[in-house]
Structure 1
Amino acid sequence: MVQQPKRNMVLTVLILAVLSIFCALPFLSLIASQQAPIALILLTIFLSLALFVQWRLDPGFTVCLVPDRKMLVWIGITGICLVYIAASCFWSSNPADSLQRLKRLGLLLAIGFLAVFAAQRVPPASHRLMLSVVFAVTGFAALFVSEKVFGLLSNTIWASESDEFKAQFLNRPSTYMVMLAWPAAYAAHRAGKNLVSWALVISLPLVLFWSSSTSGALSAAAGFGAFLVTSLNRKAATILFGAVVFVSVLAIPYAIKNEAFLNAAVSAVRQTGAFSAAHRLGIWNFVASRSDEKPLFGWGVDVGRTLPGAEILLGDVESFSPYLDKLDQTFPTLRSSPALPLHPHNAALQLHLELGVVGAVSFCLVVVYAAFSLAKIGSPSAARYTVAWATSWFVIAYFSIGLWQTWWWALSAICLIQFTYFCRSCGADRYAPTEQCKHR
């Protein structure tokens, strides 16, 4: 029989080994910068293993293994959303693809909930371990060196200079940088390194404005603005965030068809000379027009690839034709560009197209509720970072990504897990078992 001191030593080694892997966030974040879903799975395994080992082997470990009320509420909200998305598969133009997307999204959410559950209950990180997340962001420098010196293609913001990279991962590197930087800045703050934290916060928009990613620069700048506003008044900042989400999501289908709005947007695009921006104006106008055909419930989840008529070129989109005449000189190849390549590159319009007004309103409610929840998970100072992250998240979703992309939700989950872990105070009192909640 193993003696108690020896058993405790073995237990301590096992727990520290598992937690050291989890807290080696440079390792996980560098994986996330290439494959976010794989990083999320690894993070979930490490956290779950740490919780399981401590629960089974440490006699002094007492923690409630029943999900708390807030998590149950979120599970309920997620379940309702998935039910509606599942229902949309029945009227989808391609039910098979819609069902496949639903399965991936459901599995990803289940993994994310498991990781958050474990992150709430494993021992809180020390200041030294908190600082490790800072190196997750600075670890991108290693990728930069490998690319610049050795010519290796990597998912860093500087890889956007590569034509090959642009064709496959446009805006993805800047998205990784923005999403991972806010948890890193908060971890530095929690570790008492406020100078490091502020350096990350201030340098983020500066670095991204130096890159060629417009959406990355906008999201970093918006996040920085939200950080400052939340520092002054947390409640006002979250209310302002909610108002912006509702107005921008519900108004975009009408604004993108408005003549005055489009003329102003076309003039701005011509001045910048950004082809991707001009192309997206055309995509958004086409998507808004098609959304009008099924405004209430949409065409079905993930139908962008198979939407009837999506294969046409922008030159054949009647509603955008007057504006193409103004853009021809600056962008001569714009007419021959697809009207809808894969997805609309705008979460709000994608929701209107695929899930209708019902889906768009539901999305607004969930995002706003999530922002208010994030603003309350830690101390008042934590709200600056969580609201800033939520703002950057929304801007990226609004201007850049396809809403259902697996890597996007996996990366979002990784950031939420980090916030959950680092927002906890020292000790696990919140999850200590009650008389009705004992693990043995």
Structure 2
Amino acid sequence: MPSSLIHRAHSARAIGAMLLVFLLTPLLATGGGLALSPLLALGGIIAFPGPDGWRRAIRPGAAIGIALLFLVWLGVAQLWSPSDAEQVSLVWAGVLLYGAFALACMRMPEDQRTWPRAAFAAGVAALAVMLVVEAATGAWFTRSIKQLSLDNPALFRNVGRGASVFVVLAGPAAAMALAHFRHGRWVALALGAAAVSIALSFDMIANAVALVAAAGAFALACWRPRSALFGAALAAALWIVFAPMVITAAGPLSPEMRADMAFSWEWRWETWTYARELIVQRPFQGWGMDASRTFDQIVAMRGFDLERMPLHPHSAALQLWLELGMVGALLGAAAACARGMSRWSEAAWTSATSAAAASALAAMAVLSFVSYGVWQEWWWATAFLAASACILIGRGRA
């Protein structure tokens, strides 16, 4: 078969994968987002590049090297983990398949990116509409699909995850509209208005804080495109390094302060304090990959007996320290910085691509550091979706 036909077949397959993933994202995200992981993995399988595609797109460098070291350390930390090896295998498989999807976006010729860009923007816009309707109807769609009552605490946790996905993807969608769509300014404004409404719904303060961080990073990138992403990456890296020290410096909260906190945040603070206590016991190598799930200490709080470590610390920075120790935390921080520095001096890093990447990174960092576990597959899929969108923006008109 001639090479031109092979190339066209690969492109058609990749475009099909992108349309599938981007157009199904709103439906799956609104229902809680957990199905985003198999969806993106399927997209990666469909669009999986050949060996030559991997060699051309991935050049040796600090960012790649540190990321690989981090992935290797996950396997090493599994050796002393009380948990089984399922989670590290899922992370490795996810990085491979999600990375294959992002690589397909990277290899997509400029003249073939129109439909994938339109599909991504349409998908994020549809997600915005669905979440606004969910907020107005008491999460009718999620209640119908998952058979949850209105007073079930799991209801808003599910739709709140969908809101988190939207907060991360809204910046890349707005930047894509500004860079490539004729009336992109109106699309960006509509997405921004929807983001405010959605972030303030579903009883998730973290979404609102993440939106503020994302909007600030977006605005900074429009002004200083070549430094905004590095600044966001550096801030995330510093928080990873110093998170246990911050919890220690804050010290135990007084009973009065704890009584003034929302119940969920008091429980979260108890979890963070417990994580810091465990980190001090094994500061260098950590307790092992996915060890957070194995701690079962109980604490009495407001008349309830609760787990001090409910599956994970609800802080990516503390979880890295707890499970992977200082080595894993420093590798994670170095990977974030190296990714930002690799774009530091590139003139092609325009305001559109920088705004998309910086806003997504800022939102991911805030939500990861106060809410979600670092190994949750749907959250990794969200990060790779945002990265794929940033790649598809390309140079644009910005």
Query: What band does the TM-score fall into relative to the shorter chain?
Result: 0.7 to 0.9
Counterparts of 1:276 and 1:149 in 2: how far apart (Å)?
A: 21
The amino acid across from 2:96 in the alignment is A
For the pair 1:91 / 2:80, whether they are aligned, the reply is yes
Deviations 1:297-346 (A, max 9, x none): 1111100111xxx322224xxxxxxxxxxxxxxx7235x22111100000
Q: What does residue 245 of structure 2 align with? A: 254
1:160/1:170 contact within 8 Å kept: no
Q: What does residue 395 of structure 1 align with? A: 366
Q: What does residue 216 of structure 1 align with? A: 207
Report how many residues are paired: 383
**Following superposition of structure 1 onto structure 2, how do residues 326-405 of structure 1 map, counting pairs within 5 Å?**
332-333=302-303, 336-373=305-342, 378-405=349-376
1:26/1:139 contact within 8 Å kept: no
2:207/2:367 contact within 8 Å kept: yes
Counterparts of 1:131 and 1:137 in 2: how far apart (Å)?
A: 10
For the pair 1:135 / 2:126, whether they are aligned, the reply is no
Please report how far the alpha carbon of residue 390 of structure 1 lies from its aligned counterpart in structure 2 after TM superposition. 0.6
Counterpart pick for 2:274 among 286, 305, 308: 286
1:314/1:339 contact within 8 Å kept: yes
Please report how far the alpha carbon of residue 105 of structure 1 lies from its aligned counterpart in structure 2 after TM superposition. 0.7
The amino acid across from 1:103 in the alignment is S
Please report how far the alpha carbon of residue 32 of structure 1 lies from its aligned counterpart in structure 2 after TM superposition. 4.5
Please report how far the alpha carbon of residue 21 of structure 1 lies from its aligned counterpart in structure 2 after TM superposition. 5.8
Counterparts of 2:71 and 2:165 in 1: how far apart (Å)?
A: 26
Q: What does residue 295 of structure 1 align with? A: 283
For the pair 1:109 / 2:80, whether they are aligned, the reply is no
Counterparts of 1:118 and 1:351 in 2: how far apart (Å)?
A: 30
- When residues 197 and 173 of structure 1 are mapped into structure 2, their CA distance, relative to the original with a 3 A threshold, is same
- When residues 186 and 151 of structure 1 are mapped into structure 2, their CA distance, relative to the original with a 3 A threshold, is same
For the pair 1:163 / 2:148, whether they are aligned, the reply is no
The amino acid across from 1:43 in the alignment is G
Counterparts of 2:267 and 2:27 in 1: how far apart (Å)?
A: 32
Give the SS at the match of 2:142: coil
The amino acid across from 1:417 in the alignment is S
Q: What does residue 313 of structure 1 align with? A: 298
Q: What does residue 433 of structure 1 align with? A: none
Counterparts of 2:248 and 2:155 in 1: how far apart (Å)?
A: 29
1:249/1:364 contact within 8 Å kept: yes
Give the SS at the match of 1:120: helix
Counterparts of 1:15 and 1:365 in 2: how far apart (Å)?
A: 34
Counterparts of 2:26 and 2:333 in 1: how far apart (Å)?
A: 31
Q: Which moved more, 1:165-174 or 1:80-89?
A: 165-174
Identity within the alignment, %: 21
The amino acid across from 2:268 in the alignment is R
The amino acid across from 2:175 in the alignment is Y
- When residues 311 and 167 of structure 1 are mapped into structure 2, their CA distance, relative to the original with a 3 A threshold, is farther
- When residues 360 and 150 of structure 1 are mapped into structure 2, their CA distance, relative to the original with a 3 A threshold, is closer
2:221/2:228 contact within 8 Å kept: yes
Please report how far the alpha carbon of residue 369 of structure 1 lies from its aligned counterpart in structure 2 after TM superposition. 2.1
Counterparts of 2:209 and 2:306 in 1: how far apart (Å)?
A: 25
**Following superposition of structure 1 onto structure 2, how do residues 131-280 of structure 1 map, counting pairs within 5 Å?**
131-140=118-127, 141-142=129-130, 145=133, 148=137, 151-153=140-142, 163-166=152-155, 169=158, 171-192=160-181, 193-258=184-249, 262-263=253-254, 267=257, 270-271=259-260, 273-280=261-268
Counterparts of 2:250 and 2:10 in 1: how far apart (Å)?
A: 64
Give the SS at the match of 2:200: helix
Deviations 1:389-414 (A, max 9, x none): 11111111101111011111122112
- When residues 302 and 135 of structure 1 are mapped into structure 2, their CA distance, relative to the original with a 3 A threshold, is same
2:353/2:393 contact within 8 Å kept: no
2:156/2:202 contact within 8 Å kept: no
- The alignment's C-alpha RMSD in Å is 3.7
Counterparts of 1:12 and 1:255 in 2: how far apart (Å)?
A: 53
Counterparts of 1:18 and 1:236 in 2: how far apart (Å)?
A: 32
Identify unmatched segments of 5+ residues in structure 1. 53-62, 316-330, 427-440
The TM-score, its normalising length taken from structure 2, stands at 0.82
For the pair 1:37 / 2:37, whether they are aligned, the reply is yes
2:237/2:336 contact within 8 Å kept: no
The amino acid across from 1:284 in the alignment is W
Identify unmatched segments of 5+ residues in structure 2. none
1:245/1:364 contact within 8 Å kept: yes
- When residues 155 and 420 of structure 1 are mapped into structure 2, their CA distance, relative to the original with a 3 A threshold, is farther
- When residues 150 and 258 of structure 1 are mapped into structure 2, their CA distance, relative to the original with a 3 A threshold, is closer
- When residues 314 and 24 of structure 1 are mapped into structure 2, their CA distance, relative to the original with a 3 A threshold, is same
1:22/1:46 contact within 8 Å kept: no
Counterparts of 1:405 and 1:28 in 2: how far apart (Å)?
A: 20
1:186/1:385 contact within 8 Å kept: yes
- When residues 113 and 15 of structure 1 are mapped into structure 2, their CA distance, relative to the original with a 3 A threshold, is closer
